[in-house]
Amino acid sequence: MNEITTMYHDMGISPEVYAYGEATIARLKERFDNIDRVAEYNQAKVLAAFRKNRVSATCFAASTGYGYNDEGRDKLEQVYADVFHTEAALVRPHITCGTHALTLALSANLLPGDELLSHVGLPYDTLQEVIGIRPSPCSLAEYGVTYNQVDLLDDGSFDYEGIRNAINEKTKLITIQRSKGYATRPTFSVTQIGELITFCKNIKPDVLVMVDNCYGEFVETIEPSDVGADMIVGSLIKNPGGGLASSGGYIAGTKHCIDRCAYRLSAPGLGQEVGANFGLMGQLYQGFFLSPTVTANAEKGAVFAANLYEPLGFRCVPNATESRHDIIQAVELGSAEGMIAFCKGIQAAAPVDSFATPIPGDMPGYDSQVIMAAGAFVQGSTMELSADGPMREPYAVYFQGGLTWYHAKLGILMSLQKMVDAGLVKL
């Protein structure tokens, strides 16, 4: 064995698993080159926004209290707006997660009597209580916002005829979830989202469209805001935080929508003028700067996982050859034992808490037990190597992240090793 194979062997990767992984990687050079080209374009786009807004060291200064005259905070929001080609953006560490950001965008732009419409079937688990699909205190339903949905067709495409029939005079806002969440449907491309937005606005020009952009930022060279979305929403502990942001979320879109979001986040009349940064500006700036490259590393890991597991008989979404529109890779393992073994491997490869053993448990916002493997520097960061999924049919695990390609590679190989050790896979 050479030095590399010896290192992998010492970490528990058998020669057979390593050789299978290397043979898989050898087939992926063209895919990886394409990912790198997208990353280069997006890196230039981010750098251009930094230069345009004259970002300086003074932007990293901490603010306290009201946060008045926080130049770093204001410039960061303009950087986001420029990168996403929107009129305005709200980027704050006070937004705790993607669900919080989505809740903020919805509650700010929906009033009693308005209807929220989903064209992609049932929203992600944690959003169901926000809307009131599953009853919860302070849901939109409690405030008189109604909800309707149009399920996807059997092939995972939009039901345009159903959508036409569903849009009515009460339809105020349409929500589109870009990524698959805990579903096993394909993730939508920005082009597909743009076609849907155009269709909806041709029926009702004044309808607002919000896109849940989580996991999708910088995977393509364009974003949903480039194709007509009024708001795009995401979390800083996912793609745009670059693995460095310790908290936060963003909403980018029209000035009208963003102003309302800012009033909802702080208070009417205050809006974006207040909000201390708690000394986090350096993280948020640097994380956003690194995001195109870190996202590319995570995407390579997702491609590798699909090409590793699909030939072994496991259904992968996306499959091994499909184009990618987010960093999530779903692998249907077919059993609870498979999910547990896979997650044990991801956990064992983590830099933090590698010694822990993931087990299924109850999670807030989910109606099934969930197993999660994560050993991250930032708690809950799905930009870092992690895997999770609900313990229910078809027993699909959702793999994502990897600050470096090499860590993603190791984690996936370790997941396969645990599957082999458990007798669930034969190479």
CA 255/CA 261 separation, integer angstroms: 10
Tell me how far CA of residue 226 lies from CA of 16, 26, 79, 260, in angstroms.
46, 35, 16, 21
124 pLDDT tier (thresholds 50, 70, 90): confident
State the amino acid at position 25 in one-letter form: I
**Single pTM value for the model:** 0.95
Query: Mapping DSSP to helix (H, G, I), strand (E, B) and coil, where does residue 175 land?
Result: strand
CA–chain centroid gap for 134, Å, is 23
Does position 183 have pLDDT exceeding 90, yes or no? no
366 pLDDT tier (thresholds 50, 70, 90): confident
pLDDT the model gives residue 2? 86
Q: What does the pLDDT look like over 303-342, one tens digit per residue?
A: 999 999 999 999 999 999 999 999 999 999 999 999 999 9
186 pLDDT tier (thresholds 50, 70, 90): confident
Percent of the residues in the chain that have a pLDDT greater than 70, as a whole number: 100
Percent of the residues in the chain that have a pLDDT greater than 90, as a whole number: 94
CATH 3.90.1150.60 residue ranges of the chain are 3-42+291-421
Average pLDDT, rounded, for the chain = 96
Q: What does the pLDDT look like over 270-305, one tens digit per residue?
A: 999 999 999 999 999 999 999 999 999 999 999 999
Q: Which of 185, 214, 178, 182 is nearest to 339 (CA)?
A: 182
Asked if 401 and 298 count as a contact pair (C-beta separation under 8 A), the reply is yes
Does position 1 have pLDDT exceeding 70, yes or no? no
CATH number of 3-42+291-421: 3.90.1150.60
Domain 57-288 architecture? 3-Layer(aba) Sandwich (3.40)
CATH 3.40.640.10 residue ranges of the chain are 57-288
Q: Name the strand (E) or helix (H) holding 415.
A: helix 405-421
371-374 long-range contacts, Cβ below 8 Å, gap at least 24? Answer: 371/339, 371/340, 371/343, 371/397, 372/343, 373/342, 373/343, 373/344, 373/345, 373/346, 373/347, 374/346, 374/347, 374/350
- Contacts with 347 (C-beta within 8 Å, 6 or more apart), sequence order: 353, 354, 356, 357, 358, 373, 374, 375
Query: Mapping DSSP to helix (H, G, I), strand (E, B) and coil, where does residue 2 land?
Result: coil
184 pLDDT tier (thresholds 50, 70, 90): confident
CA 318/CA 324 separation, integer angstroms: 7
DSSP 8-class letter at 28: -
